[in-house]
Amino acid sequence: MNIHAPKPATLKPATPKQASPLIDPFGRAITYVRVSVTDRCDFRCVYCMSEDMNFLPKGDLLTLEELDRLCSAFVVRGTRKLRITGGEPLVRRDIMKLFQGLSRHLDSGALEELTVTTNGSQLARFAKELAACGVKRINVSLDTLDEAKFRAVTRWGDLSKVMAGLDAAQAAGLDVKINAVALAGVNEDEFPSMVRWAHGRGMDLTFIEVMPLGDIDAARVDQYLPLNRVQAQLAEVFSLEGSDYQTGGPARYVRVKETGGRIGFITPLTHNFCESCNRVRVTCTGTLYMCLGQEDAADLRTPLRASESDDLLNAEIERAILRKPKGHDFIIDRTSSTPAVGRHMSVTGG
Ligand code: SAM
Ligand code: SF4
């Protein structure tokens, strides 16, 4: 299939008939796939990467056409939500062609949501195009509103570019959710002001516990801030009301009475959310991780490249889903100095 063709031409042939959905050994239907389209990034966030990263040779990456084929194979098998992530997905060359191609699954109704997680640095350039491809909601990662702190956390980032990106996204009609990693001693004094800022702009704000993924230059235990403490701190400032709002992701939400907005909490460490996991992750080399927190993986690039038909690919996906583990075993304390898994978050994407 040629994903470079204008959208109507890519649409027609190719939303094949749906096959039976993918169900894992614990009865969980796999309906959500996160696809990392590059391991590269224009930032070097201190909790995500080390300053000196070795990136994959470009030749190891799946082409955009191969990524489209892979995503489409999952859509045929019942994936309803596709999240494009990275590394920084919007720094991959010609990435809009992937969004344009995949939007045919939204048009056909096979896919419910096509979305992206981004650091926002390139949004001013791409927000309109994303909206034109049927993207409705996006996650933007932003850990601090303080310019100097932003530079320190991201090492290379420029807060004003992200702010311009947020303006462009909202002007294009995209619903924006802000994700902030809770970092001990870094941004914990800002949480109430971040809530007011995000809700004042009509954006939900989700906090994330730092996860022990990949070797970084700092000690995880010094970064880790359990979110039950964050919630307790916020409850002193705001009236937090329970909410059964769900986005299909792992966050649980509360509503803030004073602002009318929502705060999400993603708590892989203090409250394991694996029992309701509906997700798998594919890297930019076509490696399928059945769990973010485990090493087991399946190579989908070989079957993808071995044949023009998707039969081998589908068979490998089915075999892999039957190995999806019950959950992860993250732990951060003074006694465990090695990461739970060796790969960085930028490999599997958030
Ligand atoms: N570059 C994009 C971004 O930052 O949004 C997408 C990829 S990034 C790996 C996805 C999300 O993972 C971001 O929200 C980031 O803050 C989060 N993240 C990265 N490393 C993490 C870690 N060790 N623990 C928890 N979250 C992490
Ligand atoms: Fe890049 Fe996102 Fe990792 Fe930050 S969190 S280094 S923006 S991939």
For residue 117, give the ligand 2 atom closest to its CA: 2
Residue 10: which pLDDT band, with cuts at 50, 70 and 90? very low
Predicted TM-score (pTM) of the model is 0.90
Ligand 1 shell residues, CB under 6 Å: 41, 47-48, 85-86, 88, 117-119, 141, 179, 181, 208, 210-211, 213, 345-346, 349-350
- In whole angstroms, give the CA distance from residue 232 to residue 235: 5
Residue 283: which pLDDT band, with cuts at 50, 70 and 90? very high
Q: Is residue 240 part of a domain?
A: no
173: helix, strand or coil: coil
pLDDT in tens, 164-205: 999 999 999 999 999 999 999 999 999 999 999 999 999 999
Rounded to the nearest angstrom, the distance between the alpha carbon of 345 and the centre of ligand 1 is 6
Q: Is residue 281 part of a domain?
A: yes
Judged by its nearest atom, the ligand closest to the C-alpha of residue 36 is 1
Rounded to the nearest angstrom, the distance between the alpha carbon of 191 and the centre of ligand 2 is 20
Q: Is residue 209 part of a domain?
A: no
Q: Is residue 31 part of a domain?
A: yes
Q: Is residue 91 part of a domain?
A: yes
Helix, strand counts (H, E) of the chain: 12, 12
Q: Which residues of 194-225 are buried (b: 16+ CB within 10 A; e: fewer)?
A: bbbebbeeebbbbbbbbbbbbebeeebeebbb
pLDDT in tens, 86-104: 999 999 999 999 999 999 9
Q: Is residue 87 part of a domain?
A: yes
Which residue's CA is the nearest one to ligand 2's atom 3? Answer: 48
Residue-wise DSSP of 42-101: S---TTT--SSPPPPPGGGSPPHHHHHHHHHHHHHTT--EEEEESS-GGGSTTHHHHHHH
Q: Using the predicted structure, report yes or no on whether residue 64 has a pLDDT greater than 90.
A: yes
CATH number at residue 333: 3.20.20.70
For residue 119, give the ligand 2 atom closest to its CA: 7
Q: What is the pLDDT of residue 108?
A: 97
User: 89 is written with which tokens?
Assistant: 């997905």
Q: Using the predicted structure, report yes or no on whether residue 316 has a pLDDT greater than 80.
A: yes
Question: Please, what is the average pLDDT of the chain?
Answer: 88
Total domains present in the chain:
1
Domain range for 104: 22-183+275-348
Q: Is residue 245 part of a domain?
A: no
Q: Is residue 199 part of a domain?
A: no
Rounded to the nearest angstrom, the distance between the alpha carbon of 349 and the centre of ligand 2 is 9
Q: What is the pLDDT of residue 16?
A: 55
Which residue's CA is the nearest one to ligand 2's atom 4? Answer: 45
- With a 6 Å cutoff on the Cβ, whether 284 touches ligand 2 is no
